[in-house]
Structures are given as C-alpha cells and as structure tokens.
Structure 1
Amino acid sequence: MPALPSSICPAPARIRAVAATLLLLAAAACVPGSSAPEAGPDSPVAAVQQLVDDLRRDDLAAYARHAVPEPLHARLATAWDQGRTLWPLSELPLDQKFQGFLAALSAPRSEQTLLAAYRRQFAGAQKEIRDAATTLGLFTVQYVANEGSYSDEERDHYRQLIGALSRWGQRAPLADPARARQVLPQITLAARTTGLGGPDGLHRAGMEASLQRLGPFFVRVEHALAAYGLDFDAALAGMRVTLAEQTGDQARVRIEYTLAGEPIDALVRVERRGGRWYLSDLLRRAETEAGAATLAGGSGGPPSRTPARR
C-alpha cells in the first residue's frame, strides 16, 4: 500500500500523525539468507498458499525465500548488505522510514515518550481520528486509481483493502488512552528485542537475520492490532485460495478473505519460472529493486535506492 504524498494531504499535525499510524498498521496486511533449495509448489494455488502460510507463521525469512527464485534472492540479499534495499520490507508502506520507526520504538524510555506524544495527539480525539481515517481512505483510493505502476489486479485488491481499513479506522478505539498504555509498552519491548534499532541495524544484520528477528516483532504488532479489532491472523487463517484461470505458464488465482468484518475478493497474477510459481507483481518489484541496486553498485557513485512501486 502506498504512502500518501504530502502534497495531497495538507492536514494538521494530529491528522498527519493519524494517517501515518494507519498506514503503518496496514503494513501487516500486505504482507503479505540462503537456505538449501526447497521443492517448489507444483501449482499456482500451492504457490500462493505457501506464502500465506509463511505469513501466518510470521516467518518472513521463509516468505522471502519462497517469493522469488534463488538467484534473485541472492542478489537481493547482497543489495540489502550494501544498504541499497530492504526487500521484502519494501512491500510495506513507509518502508524507507522503517529503520527510523524501529529506532524510535527501541530507544531508552521510548514507551514514556510515545505515550506522552499519544496523549498530545490522539487521546480523546476520536472525532479527529474518524475524520482522518475517512480522508485517508478517499485520498489513498484516488492515488491508487491514478498510479500507473500498479497492475489492474493490484489496483482492485488495494481499493478493497483501503476501504476496509478506512472504515475500521473510523470505528476503532484508537483514542482510548487505557488501551494505548497497555499496548505501546509491549510493542517497544518487542522492538528492543530485535536488536535492530541502532543506526543501520537492519543492513548490519543482513537480510536473513533481520527477517528472522522481525518475526516476533510483527507477532506483537498483530496482537496489538487485534486489541483494536483488526485481526490479521484471522484474515490469513480464513483465506480461501482457488484457481481462476491458467494458460501455460501464466495464471490468475483468486484470494478471498475477511478483514475488519468486510469481505475481500481479489485476483493475483502468478507465473511459472524454472518449474516454480511466483506472484508476478511481487516478482516484478523484487527484480526492479535488485536491478536498481546492481546499476547503482556499478556506477561508481554513492549508493542510491529506487523506491519500490506499490
């Protein structure tokens, strides 16, 4: 899901904070080292189900291995080590701020700092949060509709997902200070436990170790969201994956699930490479990140990062 360009969301500080928070919460919905080669799934449905199962277990390292062919995975791991990509975290909203997000959560006394900020910006502001969720949903749907980098299938899926999250944000008890006092310390402790909050912590640890350490952190975030009525575990557990159509090495798979009480019915494109099936849009973005990293590495200039398309 894309982060909103600041030029189309000139909201007051409190509304911007709500918008950024909702986008970070949505990360878990999009998601969703080198091990010995595994036998690949032998059908488009099995390939998609394998990724769903990885996300259900919060096994981000396995998800990364299963999402792309092994040579591409190796290139992405190298690019990660060089500080040129954070794939597959680049599939998340606000991915370029993820290191800073971890650092803020991991900082000493961060729970007190964040609770103080919460009291200033969120506590008792249910109407403002409800209005922000509505506005955020409208702007993001418009952005997705006009952004040319999305496939038609992605555009339709994101439209449904954004609508469900926006309506959830309008009714969720995000302004409840008692709930925040319970949830925020749990998240900050989980962030510290990763050991990735220091400067360039993600790049220093490498892709495999970072993804392994982030698994328990995302478990805690998902539990926090469930306390607000957004249960991603239930959505993944109840997901139905079926074949819509297949022609040779190209296929479309239907995924049906319920998020925040709303039904989602979407199609994803899948393609076969080297006997294995992969999500086409995810594969395309991974290739873009690896290709951009390779180009930057051979230019002789400073490292650069091409933002992933979402």
Structure 2
Amino acid sequence: MRLPFLRHAMLPLLAALLLGACHGKDEAAQPGGSTPEAALQASIELLKAGDFDALWKHALPPADYANMRADWSLQQRDLRPLTAEDRTRFNETMQKLTGPDAENRLYAELQPQLAAMERQYKDQLPVLISVGDAMLKSAVAQSHTLSETQKTQAGSVIDVLLPWAQQTPWFDPARAKQAVGVAVATARKLDLKSPEQLRALDFDATMGKYAVGWGGLKQLLAIYGLSVDDTLNSVKLTPLSNSNGHAVVKVDYTLLGKPLSAETALLQENGRWYSEDLLRNARQSHRQLQQQAAPASAASAVTKD
C-alpha cells in the first residue's frame, strides 16, 4: 500500500518538517513555498492535519507530484499475490478490532496478560530496548537516503527517545485500555473489509487511509507521554543561508523536554522552494521504477508480437 519512495522519503521529510508555526493557507495550497521558511511552515500545517495528498502536492514540484501518482500503479502491479493465509490473518485481525463491543472484548483478553508480561519483561525490557536502539542506529548509519548531517540529527532524536522508551509504563492497565480504544476506533475508521480492497485502493484513497492511521498513531503516542503536536509546535526557524537558489534553515525544537536542532537544505525551482533531499529521493525512486518497468514492457511487447 505504498511506494518505495514514500518509505525512503518519509524520514527526511519528517526531519525537514519538524516545526510548528502556521504560515498561511495560501502557501499550503500551492506547490513549494515563496520562501524556504514558508515552504516548511506550510508543509507542517498539512502534516499536522494528516492531509497527505495535499502535503505531497505542496512538497513536490507539479511534474514530480504527477510522476509519483503515475508510479503508484507500477508499484501496485508488482505486489505478490495474496494467499489464503493472508486473507485469514487479515479477516481475523479486522474482526477482532471492529466487531461488536471490540473495545471491551480486547481489553478483557489483554488485562490478565498485562501483569504476567510485566513480571516477565520488566527487567528485560530496558535491555531489549537498548538492543533495538543499537539496531536502529545501525540502520540509520547504513542508510543510503540520509545525508551525514541527517544521520547525526537522527541519532540525536534516537538518544532522546531511548530513555523515554525505557521508562514508559507500557504495561499500565489504564493506558492499555485507552490504547485499545484508540486501536479499535482507528480500525473502524479505516473501514477495510478485505485484503483485496486494501490492494485495490488508488493513490487518493490510500492517502486518506494514511491520514486515519496517522491520527491514531499520534493518539497512541500521546497516551504514553509523547505528543507529536507538542513537538511540532515547539519549533523555531532560523535562516542560515540563501543564495543562488540554495538555502539552509536551522530548525530548533523540543522533544520530550529535550532541546534539539536540525538543518534543512532547500532548493528553488521555478520561483518556489522545496526540500533538496525530498526532491532527490523522489526523482531517484521515479527513475528506479521506470527502469524496472522497461524490461517488463519490452517482454510484453515481444509476447504480443
């Protein structure tokens, strides 16, 4: 249900958009920004609102946005066929999340497990989280889509998230009950009846589902003490440079009470400003998909002849 570009671009995009002031609906309704700061500020409005289609339309030049939409069908065409196991697993999961009285049923099933899980994993969890922290940092270090500056900035974010993850009361019954309620409400809003329906979603419908999932994720994180919107609202922008169609903006923000900063490079095209890393990733993904599609098209033409 996603393009490789969306997976590879999301981290640099979110890094570029960690800010909170609103600049104006006129900027959000147009591709790019009239200034580097305006481009970032308008994007965060759309990100906070969960309007992902409008976000990509704003964050990419018109031709690149059109390519991304056209590439959607290429990506969907290459998905592996669904199996009976896929269908069974999907149907069982959605039935649990959306069936009658799902909130109480799921919590009744989860509640007796919480104390046992806490006894079993309480001492191990900090160690397991530390292992996950090391693996995540290794993945960031080996990333081919992040610059060295972005890797350093991502490492700083991970360092702040580690103690939060280790100290959060994941097995607290009250929080677990709230989390179950959010998961059920989100699943119902997604309104997915079958894996075939999920596979058949077009680009616009998928962006709408992303919006629902994003809203649910923010609620879940807030239950456990991490407010995405508070972090976004804390950001302050400082222009560092702007010449010859290239600009750098410093982004200062607070994550879980810890001050952090990042630098975002922007590029001017046709009088509008865009994230330089986002453009590079979008265009690289488009080229790769076109190259992958070319042999398939040639083989199809030969078969027809």
TM-score by length of 1: 0.72
Distance 1:189 1:197, change over 3 A: farther
Name which of structure 1's ranges 120-129 and 167-176 shifts more when overlaid on structure 2. 120-129
For structure 1, the residue ranges without an aligned partner over 5 or more in a row are 1-25, 86-98, 303-310
| Cα distance in 1 between the residues matched to 2:177 and 2:215 | 18
| Cα distance in 2 between the residues matched to 1:27 and 1:261 | 22
Counterpart position of 1:179: 175
Structure 1 residue 195 corresponds to structure 2 residue 182: no
- 2:32–2:61 Cα contact (<8 Å) kept: no
The residue type paired with residue 62 of structure 1 is: A
For structure 2, the residue ranges without an aligned partner over 5 or more in a row are 1-10, 18-28, 78-85, 299-305
The residue type paired with residue 179 of structure 2 is: V
- SS of residue paired to 1:175: coil
Counterpart position of 2:48: 56
| Cα distance in 2 between the residues matched to 1:281 and 1:192 | 35
Distance 1:40 1:31, change over 3 A: closer
The residue type paired with residue 44 of structure 2 is: V
| Cα distance in 2 between the residues matched to 1:202 and 1:256 | 38
Q: Counterparts of 1:216-227 in structure 2 under 5 Å? A: 216-227=212-223
1:191 CA drift (Å) = 2.6
Q: Counterparts of 1:46-195 in structure 2 under 5 Å? A: 46-84=38-76, 107-110=94-97, 119=113, 123-124=117-118, 125-195=121-191
| Cα distance in 1 between the residues matched to 2:272 and 2:144 | 28
Counterpart position of 2:292: 296
Counterpart position of 1:264: 260
| Cα distance in 2 between the residues matched to 1:177 and 1:107 | 23
1:293 CA drift (Å) = 1.9
Counterpart position of 1:250: 246
1:265 CA drift (Å) = 0.4
Distance 1:27 1:47, change over 3 A: closer
Deviations 1:147-182 (A, max 9, x none): 454212211221111111222101111122332222
- 2:218–2:228 Cα contact (<8 Å) kept: yes
Deviations 1:235-264 (A, max 9, x none): 111111221112211111111111122212
Cα RMSD for the two superposed structures: 3.5
The answer to which structure has the higher helix fraction is 2
The residue type paired with residue 287 of structure 1 is: R
| Cα distance in 2 between the residues matched to 1:104 and 1:226 | 28
Greater RCO structure (CA 8 Å; 6+ sep): 2
User: What is the total number of aligned residue pairs between the two structures?
Assistant: 260
- SS of residue paired to 2:250: strand
| Cα distance in 1 between the residues matched to 2:214 and 2:196 | 19
Deviations 1:76-102 (A, max 9, x none): 1122233359xxxxxxxxxxxxx99x9
Structure 1 residue 43 corresponds to structure 2 residue 35: yes
The residue type paired with residue 74 of structure 2 is: Q
Name which of structure 1's ranges 191-200 and 173-182 shifts more when overlaid on structure 2. 191-200
1:296 CA drift (Å) = 2.1
- 2:34–2:271 Cα contact (<8 Å) kept: yes
TM-score by length of 2: 0.73
| Cα distance in 2 between the residues matched to 1:105 and 1:276 | 48
1:231 CA drift (Å) = 0.6
Counterpart position of 1:232: 228
| Cα distance in 1 between the residues matched to 2:184 and 2:37 | 37
The sequence identity of aligned pairs, in percent, is: 22
- 2:36–2:249 Cα contact (<8 Å) kept: yes
